[in-house]
Amino acid sequence: MYSNRQSWLLITMAAGILLNGVANAAAKPAYGPELEGFSYPWPVKQFQFESQQQPLHMAYMDLQPTKANGHTVVLLHGKNFCAATWEDTGRSLSAAGYRVVIPDQIGFCKSSKPRTYQYSFQQLAQNTHELLASLSINKAIIMGHSTGGMLAARYSLMYPADTEQLVMVNPIGLEDWKAKGVPFIGVDGWYRQALQTTDEGIRNYERKTYYAGEWQPAYEKWVQMLAGMYRGPGKEIVAWNSALLYDMIYSQPVVYELPDISVPSLLMIGERDTTAPGKNLASAEDRAKLGNYPLLAREAAKRIANAQLVLFPNYGHAPQMQAPAEFHKSLLAHLIAP
């Protein structure tokens, strides 16, 4: 039997644990499968359309500059990013006079997450082209980061007449991971991995790969944005779409078609990037050869006609977030002049 004092201590400890759990839950919100609880920096609109015999909606932001220079930039996010993570870039471009359209692709963030969808970069490019047509945008600068860089390249290959300039920021797909030792795990394997997503796992991966070992408090917002979709009801459909998208990324590298890109192109590369989806699945020997961005960047620039290469030696996978002032100064200096 416990004494009165022991019983009081046990009750106090239990209450403390309960309160800490409540506090932690409050600090780690569930944002919903379409980020319903997460606010974007500008009003979010929805492009309603039908694709693969089902109604879908594609979220986007449309920034109208105070003094328009006559050019539009379309910003395409990466796999572990959303339209909102382009906030600094959107502000810089808008202030310089560009109209800026920032969509969430189908399967991501605030857009539809269908149970069944045949994902391909061609399909996502077509969806984006239809969005721009609905906005009466016939020609644009297409700028993509990470997986968005793969999509931007595909868009330029499908719609060269509508692509004023191609900008790729640390694009992935510059190497064929399956040919370099990353084993096939299929959609089911990617799904099992996605179900294990936590903010700690996201943070550790991003610190090492995206930010070259550095961490700033401002990055935490984006960690919780992603992790918040995996908390509470709806996390299974988020994980399932993530798995379908990873299978698309793994199986559709753009590296073989780089010489076919015909539009003016700009590569902006943080050289301390080591991103290679599925790298953790490869052998130690193969893993050491993957994600070598200093080499990949230079090889890609040589294979793309009319390509300019801008290197950031001290930054990782997301130089636009790690060093926004430096990055945007360079971006504006290399964009097609108004």
pLDDT in tens, 272-306: 999 999 999 999 999 999 999 999 999 999 999 98
The tokens for 113 are 């997450």
Residue 252's pLDDT is 95
Residue 187 contacts by C-beta under 8 Å, 6 or more apart in sequence? 243, 244, 247
Question: Phi then psi for 169, rounded to 5 degrees?
Answer: -105, 115
In this structure, the strands spanning 163-169 and 140-145 are parallel
Q: What is the pLDDT of residue 209?
A: 86
As a whole number of angstroms, the distance between CA 109 and CA 191 comes to: 17
Q: Report the candidate in 165, 101, 157, 105 with the shortest Cα–Cα distance to residue 133.
A: 101
First CA to last CA across the chain, in angstroms? 82
Residue position matching structure tokens 């050289």: 271
Tell me which amino acid residue 209 is: T
287-316 b/e (C-beta count within 10 Å ≥ 16 → b)? beebbbbeebbeebbebbeebeebbbeebb
Strands 99-103 and 54-63, sheet pairing: antiparallel
- Chain centroid, CA 69 distance in Å: 27
pTM, two decimals, is 0.91
- What would the 3-class secondary structure string for 62-111 be? EECCCCCCCCEEEEECCCCCCHHHHHHHHHHHHHCCCEEEEECCCCCCCC
pLDDT at 131: 98
Give the per-residue pLDDT at 23: 37
Number of CB atoms found within 10 A of residue 262's CB: 15
Q: Which amino acid is at 153?
A: A
Asked if 44 and 110 touch (Cβ cutoff 8 Å), the reply is yes
Q: How confident is the model at residue 336 (pLDDT cuts 50, 70, 90)?
A: confident
